[in-house]
Amino acid sequence: MRSRISLSIVAIAFIAACGNGGGTASTSPSSTSLSGYISVFAAASLMASFDALGTSFHKANPGVGVNLDYAGTPTLVTQIEQGAPADVFASADTTNMDKLTADGFTTGASRVFAHNQLEIVVAPGNPKGITGLADLARRGLIYISEGPTVPAGKYSLQALATAGVKVTPKSLETSVTAVISKIELGEADAGIVYTTDVIAAGSKVQGVPIPAADNVIATYPIVAVKGTKSSAAASAFIDYVLSGAGQSTLATFGFLPAS
Amino acid sequence: MSLEASIRLALGPLDLDMELTIDEGEVVALLGPNGAGKTTLLRAMAGLVPFNSGHVRLDGKVLEDTATGQYVPTERRPIGFVFQDYLLFPHLSVLDNVAFGLRSRGTSRGAAAQKAVEWLGRVGLEDYARAKPAELSGGQRQRVALARALAPDPRLLLLDEPLAALDVSTRAEVRRDLKRHLASFQGIRLVVTHDPLEAVALADRLIVMENGRLVQTGTPAEVTEHPRSQYVADLVGVNLIRGEADHGTVRIPGGTAVAAAGAESGEVFAMIHPRAIAIYRRRPEGSPRNVWSGRASNIELLGNRVRVRIDGEVPLVAEVTPAALKELDLVEGGEVWVSFKATDVGVYPA
Amino acid sequence: MRRERVPIVVVVPAAIGAAFFILPLVGLVVRSPWRDAVTALTAPETIEALKLSLVASLSATGIGLILGVPLAWVYARVEFPGRDLLRALTTLPMVLPPVVGGIALLLAFGRRGLFGSWLDTTFGITLPFTTAGVVMAETFVAMPFLILTVEAGLRSMDRRYEEAARALGASRWRVFTRVTLPLIGPSLFAGAVLCWARALGEFGATITFAGNFPGVTQTMPLAVYLLLETNQEASFILSLVLLLISLLFLVVLRHRWLGSA
* C91 to chain A, closest Cα gap in Å: 26
pLDDT tier for residue A220 given thresholds of 50, 70 and 90: very high
Q: Which amino acid is at B162?
A: P
Q: Which of A49, A96, A87, A83 is nearest to A67 (CA)?
A: A87
CATH number at residue B50: 3.40.50.300
Of A173, A174, A186, the CB nearest to C112: A186
Shared-domain flag, residues B104 and B201: yes
Q: What's the average model confidence in pLDDT over C165-186?
A: 94
3-state secondary structure of B203: coil
CA distance B202 to B189: 10
Question: Which residue from C minimizes the CA distance to A77?
Answer: C229
Q: Which residue of C has its CA nearest to A178?
A: C208
Strands in B165-324 per DSSP E: 188-193, 205-210, 213-218, 239-246, 249-251, 257-259, 265-272, 278-280, 290-302, 305-312, 316-320
Q: How many CB atoms lie within 10 A of CB B180?
A: 9
Is the pLDDT score of C261 beyond 70?
no
Are B317 and B302 contained in the same domain? yes
Closest CA to A52 of A11, A17, A7: A7
> Do B156 and B13 share a domain, yes or no?
yes
Output the CA–CA distances (angstroms, integers) from residue A98 to A94, A106, A155, in the order listed: 6, 10, 17
- Shared domain check, B281 and B201: no
Cα(A58)–Cα(A55) distance, rounded to whole angstroms?
5
The neighbour count for residue B247, using CB atoms within 10 Å, is 7
As a whole number of angstroms, the distance between CA B123 and CA B126 comes to 8
Please name the member of B43, B48, B101 whose beta carbon is closest to the beta carbon of C168: B101
Residue pair C223/C238 in contact (Cβ under 8 Å)? The answer is yes
Residue A29 is predicted with a pLDDT of 45
C211 and A173 in contact by Cβ < 8 A? yes
Which residues of chain C lie closer than 8 angstroms to B82, CB-CB?
none
Please name the residues in contact with B148: beta carbons below 8 A apart, sequence gap of 6 or more.
Answer: B88, B97, B98, B100, B101, C168
Does residue A31 have a pLDDT over 50? no
Residues from chain A that touch C207, judged by Cβ atoms under 8 A, are 173-174, 178
C212·A187 Cβ contact <8 A: no
pLDDT of C43 reads 83
Whether residue A15 is predicted with pLDDT greater than 60 in this model: the reply is: no
Q: CA angle, corner A151, sides to A150 and A157, nearest 5?
A: 95
Give the residue among B172, B210, B209 at the shortest CA–CA distance from B190: B209
Domain boundaries for CATH 3.40.190.10 within chain A:
3-115+219-252, 117-217
Distance from CA of B76 to the nearest CA of C (A): 6
* Mean pLDDT to the nearest integer, C15-39: 86
Distance CA B289, CA B291 (A): 6
What local confidence, expressed as pLDDT, does residue A22 receive? 35
Chain C residues closer than 8 Å to A179 by CB: none
Chain C residues with CB-CB distance to A187 below 8 A: 106, 110-112, 128-129
Can you tell me the mean pLDDT for A232-241?
A: 93
Same-domain check for residues B75 and B208? yes
Q: Kindly state whether C124 is in contact with chain A, defined as any CB-CB distance less than 8 angstroms.
A: no
Helix (H, G, I), strand (E, B) or coil at A208: strand
DSSP secondary structure letter of residue A23: T
Report the C-alpha gap between C109 and C118 in whole angstroms: 9
- Domain final position from B232, B262, B279: B232
Which has the higher per-residue pLDDT, B94 or C254? Answer: B94
Question: Across the B/C interface, how many CB contacts are shorter than 8 Å?
Answer: 63
pLDDT class of A8 with cuts at 50, 70, 90: very low
Radius of gyration (C-alpha) of chain C in whole angstroms: 22
| Domain range for B310 | 237-349
Query: A touches C (3+ CB pairs < 8 Å)?
Result: yes
CA gap A176, A181 in Å, rounded: 9
CA B77 vs CA B64, B70, B152, B154, C171: distances in Å: 10, 13, 11, 8, 12
Task: Please tell me the CATH code under which domain A3-115+219-252 is placed.
Answer: 3.40.190.10
pLDDT the model gives residue B330: 84
B175 and B302 belong to one structural domain: no
Top-tier CATH class for A117-217: alpha beta
Contact between chains at C106 and A185 (C-beta distance less than 8 A): yes
Q: What are phi and psi of A212, to 5 degrees?
A: -55, -35
How far CA A185 is from CA of A220, A257, C99, C104, C119, in Å, comes to 29, 32, 14, 11, 16
Q: How high is the pLDDT of residue C149?
A: 94
Q: Report C:35-94 residues touching A (Cβ under 8 A).
A: none
C207 touches chain A (CB under 8 A): yes
pLDDT tens track for C49-62:
999 999 999 999 99
CB-CB under 8 Å, B104 with C169: yes
How confident is the model at residue C258, as a pLDDT?
61
- CA distances A223 to A12, A90, A99, Å, are 29, 7, 13
Co-location of B272 and B182 in the same domain: no
pLDDT band at A32 (very low <50, low <70, confident <90, very high): low
- Give residue A1's pLDDT: 39
Tell me the per-residue pLDDT of B142-163, one tens digit each, with 9 for 90 and over: 999 999 999 999 999 999 999 9
List the single residue in A171, A173, A185 with the smallest CB-CB distance to C110: A185
Contacts of C211 in chain A (CB under 8 A): 144, 170-173, 182
Q: B14 and B120 share a domain? A: yes
The reported pLDDT for the residue numbered B288 is: 63
Q: What is the CATH number of the domain that holds B247?
A: 2.40.50.100
Mean predicted confidence (pLDDT) in A10-22 = 38
Tell if the CB–CB gap between C229 and A185 is shorter than 8 Å. Answer: no
Partners of B205 in the beta sheet? B28
Cα A208–Cα A214–Cα A217 angle in degrees, nearest 5: 85
Residue B163, number of CB atoms within 10 A of its CB: 23
Q: With 90 as the cut, is the pLDDT of residue C150 above it? A: yes
- Which residues on neighbouring strands pair with residue C161, listed in sequence order? none
Q: Do B294 and B225 fall within a single domain?
A: no
The answer to whether residues B42 and B169 belong to one domain is yes
Residue B269 near residue B226, CB atoms below 8 Å: yes
Nearest CB neighbour to A173, from listed C212, C214, C229: C212
pLDDT at C257: 62
Given CA atoms C84, C87, C89, C91 in this order, what sign does their dihedral have? negative
Pick among B49, B74, B98 to test the C interface (most C CBs inside 10 A): B74
Do residue B270 and residue B344 come from a single domain?
Answer: yes
The enclosing H or E element of B95 equals helix B94-104
Per the rule left: phi > 0, alpha: psi between -120 and 50, beta: everything else, A257 is beta
Last residue of a domain, one of B232, B247, B264: B232
Residues for chain C: how many in total? 261
Q: Give the residue on C whose Cα is nearest the Cα of B150.
A: C168
Amino acid symbol at C214: P
For residues B276 and B344, the answer to whether their CB atoms sit within 8 Å is yes
Structural domains in chain C, CATH included, are 59-217 (1.10.3720.10)
Question: Which of B213, B232, B251 is the last residue in one of the domains?
Answer: B232
- Cα–Cα distance list, B111 to B118, B122, B126, B151, C58 (Å): 11, 17, 16, 12, 39
Q: Which of B66, B51, B126 is nearest to B94 (CA)?
A: B126
Q: What is the DSSP string of B259-272?
A: E-TT--EEEEEEEE
Residue burial C178-197, b: 16+ Cβ < 10 Å; e: rest: bbbbebbeebbbbbbbbbbb
Alpha-carbon gap, residue B176 to C42, rounded angstroms: 73
Picking from A171, A186, A187, A175, the residue whose alpha carbon sits closest to that of residue C217 is: A171
- CB-CB neighbours of A80 under 10 Å: 20
Answer yes or no: do C161 and B74 touch at CB < 8 A.
Answer: no
Distances (CA, A) of B155 to B150, B297, C27, C73, C201: 9, 51, 70, 33, 57
CA dist C178 to B325, C171, C182, Å? 63, 10, 6
**Chain C residues with CB-CB distance to A79 below 8 A:** none
Counting as low any pLDDT under 70, the low residues of chain B are 287-288
Say what angle helices C69-77 and C131-156 make with each other, to 10 degrees.
30
Number of domains in chain B: 2
Q: How far apart are CA A207 and CA A62, in angstroms?
A: 38
The mean pLDDT value for A123-133 works out to 93
